[in-house]
Structure 1
Amino acid sequence: ILEAPQPYSPVIRDAVAGSYLEIIAETEDWFKVQLPDGMTGWIPASAFTPMPPLSRDALIRTARLFMGVPYIWAGKTGKGLDCSGFTQMVHKLYGIRLRRDARMQFEDAAPVSKDPLDGQPGDLLFFAENGERITHVGFALGKGKILHARGMVRVNSLNQSDADFAPDLRRHFVEIRTFLGSLSS
């Protein structure tokens, strides 16, 4: 966020995906924005990307934009994400509020299936290393694929015949749940 509507104006704040910005004025090429703390500044109009209407495919396209972002414990921005911060942030971009931890997201989401290959794109796959406490979450891509933050945001598979099969994920899989209900692709 810049001090003035000029390309080389001093940067006064950093905005990341998911930041709440209210547009309070605009010119042809710039938006004047206000942050929740009242601070105002300018952002080039070209920096804004309107969100497509919510669908399972749109949610996954958005989630894929974060491929390669490093894993950072407690991270919940495009600069670094943990597993539940990743799922929380992507849902937030579509106006769906999730609680912060994987365990809490598991508690709040609607059950779908206990078969790891049943997930539709956008459903959430949950895992528990000790068999009880939920410790990991990621997005179902369909056909047993999962998009998740582990080391970095990446794709793995729970299908043994896939090259990117992750046996530890399959072993610790608990259940598929969703916040998307019967939303179609």
Structure 2
Amino acid sequence: MLSQVLFGEHFKVLEQRKDWSKVRLFSDGYEGFIDNKQYVEITEELYTKLTSETPCVTGELIDFICGENNQLITIPIGSQLPLFDGSHCYIQSDAYSYDGLSYNSPLPKDELIQKSFQFLNSPYLWGGKTPFGMDCSGFTQLVYKLCGYNLLREAKQQATQGEVLSFIEESEPGDLAFFDNQEGVITHVGIIMKDNYIIHAYGKVRIDRLDHSGIYNADIKRHTHKLRVIKKII
């Protein structure tokens, strides 16, 4: 699994096969294969309309939308509500009611840390971006998405965004710290907190110490990641 497509996210079909289609997500440009049973085709007109609107995303860790005949569909936090009017979202001719928490405008930067806390102890899952399992960049992408900001999918891609900071002391809570491997490839990312702490997905979403060398894990009493660069995204 490379990534996940949550309810309401739209994408272009690049190649269609009998059971699988290769798609490119609009939100981050990420490409992969999706089961043909798990998506519905929309018109080009609707795709263009969704592309131009500010996404409205769900804010409950887990919730339901109600479709035809009062059928409930489970959706995780960060799902999108296409053409949401405050009570219903629409996909083609189908309407789905939703009365939970949602966001559709940028939130203050200090909300990034508050949003990240709700994912503490979520298990690590390669390619995941929900509370039931997420990788390091899926975690940062989801937190930023909830606050109204768009990040790319992988850590090395996210590292191309924003403004470089020279020292940890220049950073603010909500900035991103990136870490590389022995080959110099950026493979990890976390969200900087105050007082030299960092929240990141490593085995689970956890809080560790951050210093000029990297991430220090107090449980195993050693550094687990080597600091490469700090970026201010907003």
TM-score by length of 1: 0.76
Letter paired with 2:205:
V
How has the CA–CA distance of structure 1 residues 156 and 38 changed in structure 2, closer, same or farther, with 3 Å as cutoff? farther
Are 2:95 and 1:40 aligned? Answer: yes
- Structure 2: which 5+ residue stretches go unaligned? 1-64
SS at match of 2:125: coil
What SS does the corresponding residue of 1:86 show, helix, strand or coil? helix
Alignment partner of 1:129 out of 178, 181, 194? 181
**Correspondence 1:108-123 to 2 at 5 A:** 108-113=161-166, 115-116=167-168, 118-123=170-175
CA RMSD of aligned residues (A): 2.7
- Verify: 1:153 aligned to 2:205, yes or no: yes
Distance 1:88 1:53, change over 3 A: closer
1:179 has 2:227 as partner: no
CA distance in 2, matches of 1:39, 1:112: 47
Q: 1:89, CA displacement in angstroms? A: 1.3
Select the structure with the greater relative contact order (CA < 8 A; seq sep ≥ 6). 1
1:45-77 deviation line (CA, Å, top 9, x unaligned): 2x2255786223211101111111111101112
> Is the CA contact (8 Å cut-off) linking 2:197 and 2:207 kept in structure 1?
yes
For structure 1, the 5+ residue unaligned runs are 181-185
The alignment partner of 1:147 has SS state of strand
Q: Hey, what's the Cα distance between the residues in 2 that align with 1:153 and 1:61?
A: 14
The answer to whether the Cα contact below 8 Å between 2:216 and 2:223 also exists between their aligned partners in 1 is: no
Q: Which residue of 1 aligns with 2:76?
A: 16
Identity of aligned residues (%): 33
CA contact (8 A) 1:34 1:40 kept: yes
The 1:51–1:59 alpha-carbon spacing in structure 2 relative to 1, beyond 3 Å, is: farther
- 1:10–1:86 distance in 2 versus 1, CA, 3 Å: same
Find the counterpart in structure 2 of residue 3 from structure 1.
Answer: 67
Is the 1:121–1:142 contact (alpha carbons within 8 Å) kept by the matching residues of 2?
yes
Aligned equivalents of 2:217, 2:124: Cα separation in 1: 24
Amino acid at match of 1:177: K
* Structure-2 separation of matches of 1:93 and 1:161: 28
What is the rounded CA distance, in whole Å, between the counterparts of 1:131 and 1:116 in structure 2?
Answer: 23
2:66/2:97 contact within 8 Å kept: yes
User: What is the Cα deviation at residue 168 of structure 1?
Assistant: 2.0
Task: Indicate conservation of the 8 Å contact 2:68/2:95, yes or no.
Answer: no
Pairs within 5 Å for 1:161-172: 163=218, 167-169=223-225, 172=226
Change (3 A) 1:117 1:39: farther
Letter in 1 for 2:75: A
Query: Which residue in the other structure is 1:183 paired with?
Result: none
1:59 aligns with 2:115: no
Distance in 2, Cα, partners of 1:103 & 1:38: 39
The whole-number CA distance in structure 2 between the counterparts of 1:99 and 1:134 is 14
Shift of 1:108: 1.7
Q: TM-score, normalised by structure 2?
A: 0.61
